[in-house]
Structure 1
Amino acid sequence: MGVPVPEFIRELRAQVGHRELWLSGVSVVVLDAGGRVLLTRRVDNGRWAVVSGVLEPGEEPARAAVREVAEETAVTVDIVRLTSVDVTPVITYPNGDRARYLDVCFLAHHVAGDPRAADDENSDVAWFAPDSLPDELTDTSRLRISKALEGGPQAWFRR
């Protein structure tokens, strides 16, 4: 199993091959009523991560965040606020494709649905207390969770 590739990226890859692409993405720190964080275990690297995905051309980031959570976990969320903006290191996928993402991260509250791995991008979905996050958590997710839980009204970004 692999991560599904959006059609617009397949079209780009037909032109650029495995060279590094600069893409826009969203990630979401989802909290339940008890303050637990929703994480997914990714199929491509076996690590836990916050929900994330690629923006479709012209898609609004907050709408993409809601869509990604529903597609990956079968959960409905309400977006609370923007929490951070950062750039990922270069990611090399198992097929050799390389990409770097401008990530826009949101805090969201769980509204409805029992979390489950709802697509083939993830093998598991679970709630974790913020003080009991799994060791296999991606570094980018650890940063995004930290910034989302700080609680300030401003979004974090590197200066």
Structure 2
Amino acid sequence: MARVDYFHDPNAPKANSLRPAVSVFVQDDAGRVLMIRRTDNDRYAIPGGQQEVGETLAQAAVREVQEETGVDVEVTELVGLYSNPAHVIAYDDGEVRQEFSICFRARLLGGKLRTSSESKEVHWVSRDQLNELNIHPSIRLRLEHGYENRAMPYFT
């Protein structure tokens, strides 16, 4: 399903849904961050997706990373809570979702990088390479907060 992100756009459609989602900031031993190139909007992002019925937020984070990248992780901390009503995501089925994402930090356990139906590329990316990638501002904010390693989680 295709999607279009609107961020502080006065012409954005009005949100008609709100669903819990997770995103995950994972670094390898070299300090590189795990990034995917999404199939639905062709942008780079940290792994993540919707929480499913019957799972905790942490379980959703672990599952999404595994599904999208082939990597196994353990959730260790909360990076932040992102609920900006000025960020809406329009899907081609008519759903327009207000951003509501919980971003976790996770520790790499193992696995082998691979793509999926949601990720056409999966890479470990150094911080200085991030500016070369097409990354939505909301994901750049999560990356910034992940690198800051704040004492307290960010929230909107």
Aligned 1:3-14 pairs, distance under 5 A? none
Deviations 1:57-83 (A, max 9, x none): 242111110011001111001212001
Q: Does 1:121 align with 2:118?
A: yes
Measured in 2, the distance between the counterparts of 1:107 and 1:130 equals 16
Aligned 1:5-154 pairs, distance under 5 A? 20-88=16-84, 89-117=87-115, 119-133=116-130, 134-154=132-152
TM-score (norm 1): 0.82
Letter in 2 for 1:125: V
SS of alignment partner, residue 76 of structure 1: strand
SS of alignment partner, residue 100 of structure 2: strand
Indicate the RMSD between aligned Cα atoms, in angstroms.
1.8
Deviations 1:89-137 (A, max 9, x none): 11012333211231110011221112111x2111111111012113301
SS of alignment partner, residue 95 of structure 1: coil
Letter in 1 for 2:126: A
Query: Is the strand fraction higher in 1 or 2?
Result: 2
Unaligned runs of 5+ in 1: 4-18
TM-score (norm 2): 0.84
**105-114 vs 35-44, greater mean Cα deviation:** 105-114
Measured in 2, the distance between the counterparts of 1:153 and 1:67 equals 26
2:11 alignment counterpart: none
Letter in 2 for 1:34: A
Measured in 1, the distance between the counterparts of 2:37 and 2:140 equals 14
The percentage of aligned residue pairs carrying the same residue is: 36
**75-84 vs 96-105, greater mean Cα deviation:** 96-105
SS of alignment partner, residue 137 of structure 1: coil
Q: How many residues align?
A: 142
| Runs of 4+ displaced beyond 3 Å | none
